[in-house]
Chains A and B, each alone.
Chain A
Amino acid sequence: MTGRTAMVGSWVAAIALTVAFFFGADAYALRLGMLLAMYIALSSAWNIIGGMAGYPSFASSAFFGLGAYAGALVQQKGTPMPLAWCFGALVPALVALVIGWVVLRLRGHYFAIASFAVAIVLRELATNWTSLTGGGMGVNLPVLSISVLAQARFFFAAQATLAVIAVAVSALVAYSRLGFALACIRQNETAAGMLGLDARRAKAAAFALSAALAGAAGAIYASSIFYIDPGDVFDVLIAVKPILMAMLGGAGTVAGPVIGAAVFFAFEQTVWAHFLSIHSGVLGMLVVALALFLPRGLLQWKYAKKTA
């Protein structure tokens, strides 16, 4: 099977599965499916800056939270949902361009810390700017007056569509000039710069794209649970889990984040169900094992075995 048919085949299978799930599953399963789709979107979004360009960003939660708040606040003013979600993508993208101008000068550890700091500043702003965000009280969103199953279907469809868009965008990026530029930056940014590559523009584009996708995921999430507060949508785990997922699958590849998100999500749900009180400890052990024994992810591991 060539790479192309494999790719087309997996797209068709994934979309068929999604449609079947949409009609067949009950509300609970649809909620889980929605979360999985959200993490596929987040992980693919992180992968554009973190995997393809090799910039270890911890700002996913910043953009997720920003998108959630942007979407929620305009929705509260009566904006229809899809429009609010677009707004929830736009605001983080613009903020990413501005912040990126500062933090994308940094590399390695320094970039990681700066992106952490961005997320913390935004969380504190959301907590303290009470007149805009309601502070720690959070924001209530309009509740849809349709049945629980219809709601679950609707929001599953929304996140699944976003996930498809996110994967499609990363595929487009990966096979375009931008993707090539990002790969050059990951391998040797200084050399890429000397060869005439405008690293700053490529990085800014990747950061903004990543932020827009994460923001949209946040906006849809906000609509789907009708209530957000700073601790929930700016949670550091929202920044870290997509990284783990992408690494598990294989950072820098298009399929890696999808596979990683699915495996990680399945594992996490199992742990949740069976060991609630030591849930995060088990997760921690998994994470350490992952980084020790599988630092390049499932995909590359398989690949390496084949070629060896």
Chain B
Amino acid sequence: VLGQVLLNGLLLGGLYACVAAGFSLVWGVLNVINLLHGTLVVLGSYLAWMAFQFLGWHPLVALPAVALLVGLLGAALQAGVLNRVVGSPVLVTLVITFGLDLLTRNALLLGFGADYRTIRRASTWGTTQIAGLNLPLDRAVAASVALAMTALLYLLLRHSWLGRAIIAARMDRDAAALMGVRVQRTFIAAFALSAGLAGAAGAVLGLVFPISPLQSDAYLGIAFTVCVLGGLGSVVGAIAGGVVLGLVESLAGFAFGAENATIVSFVLLIVLLAFRPEGLFGRRGYA
């Protein structure tokens, strides 16, 4: 049974990493806690749901389009609103992203209502047995795609010109500007990447979880916790933190009952913040 619990935890972890990676990027680069992040994930889920419902696209087929749309929204928000407040006190940026979250959430509620929706495909992929463990293939595919996208973000930050510019702007805004990085545009790109990844995560989550505007708090909470677990602003940290959180939730649910898993992970969050704010794995990472 323990093996099964661990496997479920790992599968959750891949999804969590993808939810958190973009949040971590924005926090690290812009020094903004984006309270809108959970709702961007939900928006991605809804777009995937619409693509499925009206066009008959499989969520994985719709994924690039969903990521693009949510990413564009992110770029617009950064260019129109957030770029004006980069470097403001914590409260100002928190309040702004909270306001944007209220707006977006209200729009989602108006458009879709509060009830849960699911993407019901004619056939799911079923379950296989590996070494006596049940492996639901839907979840396995979802987790792998999520991990792959997170890895893609890592490669992009590491090896592309844009990625290096983002990291440079993160390390030292003024020095980056002197080196010819257009910082404002870089911020737009960073936020768009983060939003796009959130949207993509939403599309993947739509494969395995029901969709509702009420989910966004849960996703935001996951992003917080993963970010703190893995260390701020590093993609590798987000992956590690996601996997650890998945395992912890799975084990805690097994040991104390599923309804108490949230308590365990948030207490873990507070304790870690207080005693090891640089995350479980040491140094503050760049990319």
Chain A contact residues, CB within 8 Å of chain B = 50, 56, 102-103, 105-106, 108-110, 112-114, 116-118, 120-121, 124-125, 127-128, 236, 240, 243-244, 247, 251, 277-281, 283-288, 290-292, 295
Give the docked Cα–Cα distance between A285 and B98 (Å): 10
Inter-chain contact A295/B88, CB cutoff 8 Å: yes
With CB as the reference atom, state the residue of chain B lying closest to A57. B91
Q: Give the residues in chain B near A288, CB-CB below 8 Å.
A: 81, 96, 99-100, 103
A124-B266, A292-B84, A295-B88 known; A281-B96 Cβ under 8 A: no
A102-B270, A240-B98 known; A281-B103 Cβ under 8 A: yes
Give the docked Cα–Cα distance between A292 and B99 (Å): 11
Give the docked Cα–Cα distance between A166 and B91 (Å): 22
Q: Which of B155-199 contact A (CB under 8 A)?
A: none
Inter-chain contact A285/B84, CB cutoff 8 Å: no
A120-B262, A281-B106 known; A108-B99 Cβ under 8 A: no
Q: Within the complex, what minimum Cβ distance (angstroms) separates A269 from chain B?
A: 17
Q: Within the complex, what minimum Cβ distance (angstroms) separates A26 from chain B?
A: 32
Give the docked Cα–Cα distance between A283 and B101 (Å): 11
Q: Give the residues in chain B near A127, CB-CB below 8 Å.
A: 259
Inter-chain contact B221/A120, CB cutoff 8 Å: yes
Inter-chain contact B106/A280, CB cutoff 8 Å: yes
Q: Within the complex, what minimum Cβ distance (angstroms) separates A55 from chain B?
A: 10
Inter-chain contact A287/B273, CB cutoff 8 Å: no
A103-B270, A109-B27 known; A56-B94 Cβ under 8 A: yes
Give the docked Cα–Cα distance between A128 and B95 (Å): 30
With CB as the reference atom, state the residue of chain A lying closest to B102. A284
Judge whether B85 is part of the interface by a CB distance below 8 angstroms.
yes
List 9 A-B pairs, Cβ < 8 Å.
Answer: A106-B277, A109-B90, A112-B94, A113-B273, A117-B266, A281-B102, A285-B103, A287-B98, A292-B84
Count CB-based A-B contacts (< 8 Å): 118
A-side interface mostly = helix
Inter-chain contact A247/B91, CB cutoff 8 Å: yes
Judge whether B122 is part of the interface by a CB distance below 8 angstroms.
no
Give the docked Cα–Cα distance between A257 and B271 (Å): 32
Q: Which of B214-253 contact A (CB under 8 A)?
A: 217, 221, 224, 228
Inter-chain contact B270/A121, CB cutoff 8 Å: yes
A106-B277, A113-B273 known; A290-B95 Cβ under 8 A: yes
Q: Give the residues in chain B near A285, CB-CB below 8 Å.
A: 99, 103
Q: Give the residues in chain A near B101, CB-CB below 8 Å.
A: 284
In the complex, which of the residues B96, B221, B228 has the most CB atoms of chain A within 10 Å of its own CB atom?
B96
Give the docked Cα–Cα distance between A79 and B226 (Å): 43
Those 10 A-B pairs whose CB atoms lie nearest each other, nearest first: A287-B99, A284-B102, A281-B106, A284-B103, A288-B99, A284-B99, A102-B274, A291-B96, A280-B106, A291-B95
Chain B contact residues, CB within 8 Å of chain A = 27, 31, 33, 81, 84-85, 88-96, 98-107, 110, 217, 221, 224, 228, 259-260, 262-263, 266-267, 269-271, 273-274, 277
Give the docked Cα–Cα distance between A304 and B103 (Å): 31
Give the docked Cα–Cα distance between A236 and B218 (Å): 13
In the complex, which of the residues B88, B91, B95, B267 has the most CB atoms of chain A within 10 Å of its own CB atom?
B91
Given contact pairs A112-B90, A124-B266, A284-B104, a sample of 9 additional A-B residue pairs in the complex whose CB atoms are under 8 Å apart: A56-B90, A103-B274, A110-B228, A118-B270, A120-B221, A281-B106, A283-B102, A284-B106, A291-B99
With CB as the reference atom, state the residue of chain A lying closest to B261. A124
With CB as the reference atom, state the residue of chain B lying closest to A116. B224
Inter-chain contact A114/B270, CB cutoff 8 Å: yes
Give the docked Cα–Cα distance between A277 and B107 (Å): 10
Give the docked Cα–Cα distance between A110 and B224 (Å): 10
Q: Give the residues in chain A near B81, CB-CB below 8 Å.
A: 288, 292
**Choice from A50, A124, A280, A292 contacting B85 with Cβ under 8 Å:** A292
Give the docked Cα–Cα distance between A281 and B89 (Å): 24
Give the docked Cα–Cα distance between A105 and B31 (Å): 19
Q: Within the complex, what minimum Cβ distance (angstroms) separates A134 from chain B?
A: 15
With CB as the reference atom, state the residue of chain A lying closest to B104. A284
With CB as the reference atom, state the residue of chain A lying closest to B93. A291
Inter-chain contact A128/B99, CB cutoff 8 Å: no
Q: Give the residues in chain A near B259, CB-CB below 8 Å.
A: 124, 127-128
Give the docked Cα–Cα distance between A109 and B228 (Å): 11
A112-B94, A117-B269, A287-B98 known; A106-B85 Cβ under 8 A: no
Give the docked Cα–Cα distance between A105 and B269 (Å): 14
Give the docked Cα–Cα distance between A246 and B69 (Å): 36
Give the docked Cα–Cα distance between A285 and B105 (Å): 12
Inter-chain contact A108/B263, CB cutoff 8 Å: no
Q: Give the residues in chain B near A283, CB-CB below 8 Å.
A: 99, 102
Inter-chain contact B274/A105, CB cutoff 8 Å: yes
Inter-chain contact B91/A50, CB cutoff 8 Å: yes
Q: Give the residues in chain A near B88, CB-CB below 8 Å.
A: 295
Inter-chain contact B91/A243, CB cutoff 8 Å: yes
Give the docked Cα–Cα distance between A291 and B110 (Å): 25
Inter-chain contact B91/A56, CB cutoff 8 Å: yes
Q: Give the residues in chain A near B106, CB-CB below 8 Å.
A: 278-281, 284
